[in-house]
């Protein structure tokens, strides 16, 4: 068992070293590939675990379109956003200080956060369900505020840890790892007519199923 554990550990280290070499040689392409794989996995998880689809019911086109969003938006934009954000804030504040980290969190929350939600919804309306401009307007009007609010419950705290503990070159990887869950949520939410109403109904049904019968 010990030899097996050592072998697994060595294998993980080798993969990580290869990843770092590729990140150094081809940073944007490596980030695009990683984002592509994680966003595709996130949508697949949404379909399988949240929407309870069987394998033959999976929407492969939706998985592919979500993967393209990860590759073409989160990969390159995320790469330049995190490196540029760090360099810009470092011009005015001392790296590593509470003010430095807090400013980065605030900028990420107010700029990247809403852009990320809006562009994902826009991409979905254009490339996934084909609802176009009218569908996008309806989706943003109805779902942007609750979706962004849900994102605020997770990302500022996560980014506090990310910006304070993770080297800049690996911050997008950390975000993408978290996005594995967030992409599942966003994919599910984007494909609901009204995700808040759907989630509320499911929660009430769960409460009803778990309610104890009243004592005689």
Q: Which residues 6+ apart lie within 8 Å of 172 measured at CB?
A: 31, 34, 35, 74, 75, 78, 79, 82
Residue 27's contacts (CB-CB under 8 Å, 6 or more residues apart) are 79, 169
- Greater pLDDT, 15 or 41: 41
Provide the Cα torsion 72, 182, 199, 62; round to 10°. 30
Long-range pairs for 176-179: beta carbons < 8 A, 24 or more residues apart: 176/34, 176/35, 176/38, 176/39, 176/70, 176/74, 176/78, 177/38, 178/154, 179/35, 179/38, 179/39, 179/42, 179/70, 179/74
- Token pair of 86 as six digits: 């760090």
Tens digits of residue pLDDT in 114-156: 998 899 889 988 988 888 899 899 889 988 898 899 889 889 9
- Highest mean pLDDT: which of 30-44, 93-107, 182-196? 93-107
Q: Looking at residue 6, what is its pLDDT?
A: 45
pLDDT in tens, 73-83: 988 998 899 99
pLDDT tens-place string over residues 145-180: 988 998 898 899 999 999 999 988 888 778 878 877
Q: CB–CB of 99/93 below 8 Å?
A: yes
Q: So where are the chain's domains?
A: 27-194
- 33 pLDDT more than 80: yes
| pLDDT of residue 195 exceeding 90 | no
Residue pair 87/57 in contact by the 8 Å Cβ criterion:
no
């Amino acid at each position: 068992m010990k030899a097996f554990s050592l072998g697994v550990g060595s294998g993980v280290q080798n993969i990580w070293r290869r990843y770092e070499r590729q990140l150094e040689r081809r940073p944007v392409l490596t980030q695009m590939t990683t984002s592509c794989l994680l966003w595709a996995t996130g949508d697949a998880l949404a379909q399988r675990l949240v929407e309870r689809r069987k394998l033959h019911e999976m929407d492969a086109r939706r998985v592919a379109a979500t993967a393209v969003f990860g590759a073409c938006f989160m990969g390159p934009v995320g790469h330049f956003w995190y490196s540029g954000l760090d360099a810009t804030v470092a011009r005015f504040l001392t790296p590593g200080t509470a003010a430095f980290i807090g400013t980065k969190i605030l900028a990420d929350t107010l700029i990247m956060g809403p852009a990320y939600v809006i562009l994902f919804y826009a991409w979905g309306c254009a490339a996934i369900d084909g609802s176009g401009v009218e569908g996008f307007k309806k989706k943003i009007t109805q779902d942007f505020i609750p979706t962004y609010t849900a994102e605020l419950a997770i990302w500022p705290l996560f980014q506090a840890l990310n910006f304070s503990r993770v080297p800049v070159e690996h911050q997008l990887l950390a975000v993408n790892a978290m996005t594995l869950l967030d992409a599942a949520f966003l994919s599910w939410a984007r494909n609901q007519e009204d995700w808040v109403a759907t989630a509320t109904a499911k929660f009430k049904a769960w409460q009803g199923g778990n309610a104890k019968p009243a004592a005689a």
